[in-house]
Amino acid sequence: MQEVMKKRAIELLSDGTVAKVIGWMPGEFSYDMTPAVFTTAEEIESNFVYNDFCGANVSKYVMREQKKASDAKILVFLKPCDTYSFNQLTAEHKIVRENVYVIGVGCDGMADVEKIKAAGIEGITGIESDGDKFIVKTVYGDETIARADALAERCAACKSKKLTVYDEIIGEDGEVVENSGRFDLVAKLEAMSADERFEFWRNELSRCIRCNACRNVCPACTCEQCVFDNPKSGIDQKAAADSFEENMFHIIRAFHVAGRCTDCGECSRVCPQHIPLHLLNRKFIKDINELYGDYQAGDDTESKHPLTSFTYDDAEPSVIHERGNE
């Protein structure tokens, strides 16, 4: 895969189709790749990587690059889930589609080193993919872990392997995954009593250090100035002074991305405190599906999301109120 991607990137750069390539550069330990912008064939030749650990969703970098120069032609490689974010950003006029060449990259799921570490594997010096497992070299000896056990949470519950936007495809396009199981934990939370649920979220959110990584990485968080950074908003906060503020940041953010969140999973991926933020967003998605009919943000760039459009079939407030009392 990596070699084909490099070849195409170099070709598209050389023939002038694009001037910049968004990809990844290598890390120190074979699992810590960093998103990068390449402008020359030499850089791509020597420094472009793509492997099981290139999980970062780079769609937001397209927006950033276009902010620097809106007419720059950009090549971006997108996994299926990233294409949903890309579409959503296009729909919200944050990306000028015409100036981007999208290569959709087929995906079997990305690995997450946190999963490998959580399995007790320490001192990792190298990771090799070997069929359905990874061989992990460590300073304490070699270890193996099944690919399924090393999959990122969002990949284990992948909603779709379909590339929703592309100019060309490398690898295989896939299908929307029915019964992905991504709402299983949400259903569990719904089944709890209100007190238990509050307890669950307090336990999770009390770890938040307000680093803003979840917000800054989120392709749906594209406000020029976030209310939490705006001294004029009255609710700006650099740190949560108490549990109320701790909850508020996350609840407001979840509300603000509701209907626009594609469930890309970046927020949970980046959280240094491993807070399952995706469960908040999935609750909103599940509710939207149940109340307004199935809806997937980023499926295309045309449709209006249920929370910003009105139909006579929309759920009445009373229905929603009653659900709240369950």
33 near ligand SF4, rule: CB under 6 A: no
**Which backbone phi and psi does 111 adopt, to 5 degrees?**
-90, 155
For ligand SF4, which stretch binds (CB under 6 A), given 31-39, 180-188, 190-198, 255-263? 255-263
39 near another protein, rule: CB under 8 A: no
For ligand SF4, which stretch binds (CB under 6 A), given 120-128, 181-189, 231-239, 262-270? 262-270
For ligand SF4, which stretch binds (CB under 6 A), given 70-78, 184-192, 272-280, 316-324? 272-280
117 near ligand SF4, rule: CB under 6 A: no
Residue 29: partners with Cβ closer than 8 Å, 6 or more residues away: 124, 125, 126, 127
Q: What number of chain residues touch ligand SF4 (CB under 6 A)?
A: 27
Determine which residue in the list 69, 118, 135, 148 makes contact with another protein, applying CB under 8 A: 118
Based on CB atoms, which residue is closest to another protein, 16 or 231? 231
Residue 16: partners with Cβ closer than 8 Å, 6 or more residues away: none
Residue whose tokens read 């589609």? 97
For ligand SF4, which stretch binds (CB under 6 A), given 62-70, 105-113, 158-166, 273-281? 273-281
210 near ligand SF4, rule: CB under 6 A: yes
Binder of residue 318, out of another protein, ligand SF4, none (CB less than 5 to 8 A by kind): none
Using a 10 angstrom Cβ sphere, with 0-12 exposed, 13-18 middle and 19 or more buried, the burial of residue 137 is middle
285 near ligand SF4, rule: CB under 6 A: no
Burial 22-58 (b: 16+ CB within 10 A, else e): bbbeeeeebbebeebbbeeeebbeeebbbbbbbbbbb
Binder of residue 281, out of another protein, ligand SF4, none (CB less than 5 to 8 A by kind): ligand SF4
Residue among 174, 155, 26, 7 nearest 75 (CA): 7
The least CB distance from residue 40 to ligand SF4, in Å, is: 24
298 near ligand SF4, rule: CB under 6 A: no
215: left (phi over 0), alpha (psi -120 to 50) or beta: alpha
74 near another protein, rule: CB under 8 A: no
The least CB distance from residue 253 to ligand SF4, in Å, is: 7
219 near ligand SF4, rule: CB under 6 A: yes
CA distance 261 to 51: 26
Determine which residue in the list 13, 18, 33, 100 makes contact with another protein, applying CB under 8 A: 33
The least CB distance from residue 164 to another protein, in Å, is: 24
Check: CB of residue 186 under 8 Å from CB of residue 282.
Answer: yes
124 near ligand SF4, rule: CB under 6 A: no
Binder of residue 121, out of another protein, ligand SF4, none (CB less than 5 to 8 A by kind): none
The least CB distance from residue 16 to ligand SF4, in Å, is: 32
Residue among 87, 139, 77 nearest 300 (CA): 87
Residue among 102, 110, 106, 104 nearest 127 (CA): 110
DSSP state letter for 303: P
Cα 257 from chain centroid (whole Å): 13
Tell me the two tokens of residue 48. 């472009």
Q: What angle do CA 105, 180, 313 make, to 5 degrees?
A: 105
Contact set with ligand SF4 (CB under 6 A): 208-214, 217-220, 257, 261-267, 270-273, 275, 277-278, 281
Contact set with another protein (CB under 8 A): 27-29, 32-37, 56, 61, 114, 117-118, 122-125, 138-140, 204, 207, 209-213, 215-217, 229, 238-241, 269-270, 272-276
